[in-house]
Amino acid sequence: MRFLAFDLGAESGRAIVGTLRDGRVTLDEVYRFPNEPVRVLDNLYWDALRLFHEIKKGLLLAVARYGRDIQSIGIDTWGVDFALLGEKDILLSNPYHYRDSRTQGVMEEAFKRVPQDKIFYRTGIQFMPINSLYQLLAYRLQQPSLLAQAKAFLMMPDLFNFFLTGQKASEFTIATTTQMYDPRSGDWARELLTSLELPSSILPEIHPPGTILGTLLPQVAKETGAREVPVIAPASHDTASAVAAVPAQMPDYLYISSGTWSLVGVEVPEPVINQDTLRLNFTNEGGVAGTFRLLKNVVGLWLVQECRRAFERQGEILDYTTLTQMAREARPLVSLVDPDHPSFLNPEDMPAAIQKFCQETGQPVPQSKGEIIRCALESLALKYRWVLDKLEEILRKRLHVIHIVGGGTKNELLCQFTADATNRPVLAGPVEATAMGNLLIQAMALKQVNSLAELREIVRNSCELKVYEPQDTSAWEEAYRKFVGFL
């Protein structure tokens, strides 16, 4: 059977056809398109209509290659961002990018009205200024008349599903990223929203991952040559689809979904909402098959992506392989940064921000490109170690092995650093975990896969895992002691 997945990340989107046969899934990327945010005056937006256009183009190309074989379509995207629709379902604005600066200070405004711990005990979600809750509050504080016109709130994948099917619905995993969902009641946290004077009437009904949302609208089918196939909500949050496809066989593992962000955590049967997770700012996002994802957002390869863009602006176009090679040749463990320091969220010049952090903390300032990238990669690995330590503390058990999935598995230096910094073996792969999860959850909805365990078995049968054993751990232990001083 064949399924079509759209996986939209903060840098690019892809249309991938997956074929499930004899307990294995094979992937064919039929289309890849850039997802470039657009800065207009002081704000940063997603180009939602362009993205929908690209989705239709991907559909057209998938149909051109596979014809009537495609059984269903599923979309996943990054979390937290949303669109507001007004009368006659028009977009009231281009959806804002989560790195837009208008949410600065909004979280603190929210705490004045509802205490921070109350928000956490209601939602179980970590505090990040990018959360939809604070983005929606920013609308109320800064553009109240626009918010008053809103008839519907749709998270990004929900928006595209609406454009494809005409059905307004929300999917559970993406809904949890808002910090507006109450995992205990299984509904939007309406009381919390009311306390913040936010309308909950605009929120659509929430469906579990693997729900058939509707069928492709006739006009979209006509435009693309597709059949009127079902549109299925996979785990609509990209990280949830990726975690579903972690090829783990044994319990007690840590996963890292590695891309622009590194999402570092464990799968749990229910949210862990207590003093520890509040104090350490961990999150409980929704997962597949009744699970939750207890994790932490670590600023991931964003650091390297932004350094690369800065070098490009200085006239040097370097690919990731070259940059990583330069880092490999630099001296180890000289200077370290906290990757999640607010100064790295969206700096104008990432290498300069890294240098500034080192200078202000009295460390040698990395000078060459290799030194800067090495500092970023080592600091990421040490942050993973910190998250691992804290999770073991919260769960009161040892996590024996680390699974890294996603695009970041291609960075072998970072995989090795992760093994070294954590003193745990690392199993890397698959690189396409998100697409695999998306496709196989569609297969689950169509009764071709029976359980999450079977889904993971299919992933294991469909990819090679690369093993990294820890080396040179004493130097990393020493570096870790220094690193935690910067947090």
Contact positions vs ligand LFR (CB under 6 A): 9, 78-80, 98, 237-239, 259-261, 263, 297
For residue 6, give the nearest of 34, 32, 37, 35 by alpha carbon: 32
Distance, CA of 404 to CA of 433 (rounded, Å):
10
Nearer to ligand LFR, 80 or 376 (CB): 80
Spell out the residues 6+ positions from residue 152 whose beta carbon is closer than 8 angstroms to its own: 84, 85, 89, 168, 202, 204
How do the residues of the chain divide into helix, strand and coil, expressed in percent and rounded to 5?
45, 20, 35
Task: Please identify, using beta-carbon distances, which residue of 261 and 480 lies nearer to ligand LFR.
Answer: 261
Beta-bridge partner residues of 409: none
Displacement of CA 397 from its chain's centroid (Å) = 26
In the bound state with ligand LFR, the residue whose beta carbon lies nearer, of 126 and 324, is 126
Distance CA 261, CA 297 (A): 7
The least distance separating ligand LFR from the CB of residue 123, rounded to whole angstroms, comes to 14
CB nearer to ligand LFR: give 130 or 330. Answer: 130
> What is the rounded (10 degree) CA torsion for 15, 406, 411, 61?
-10
Question: Residue 223 CB, nearest distance to ligand LFR (Å)?
Answer: 28
E strand residue ranges, 278-348: 283-286, 292-299
List 7, 76, 158, 238, catalytic entry: 238
Answer yes or no: are the C-beta atoms of 51 and 59 closer than 8 Å.
no
Helices (H) and strands (E) in the chain, counts: 19, 21
Q: How far is CA 307 from CA 9, 130, 141, 313, 402, in A?
A: 19, 22, 34, 10, 27
Catalytic (active site) residue 252:
no
- Beta carbon of residue 300, minimum distance to ligand LFR (angstroms, whole number): 8
Decide whether 260 or 335 has the Cβ nearer to ligand LFR.
Answer: 260
Tell me which residues are annotated as active site.
238
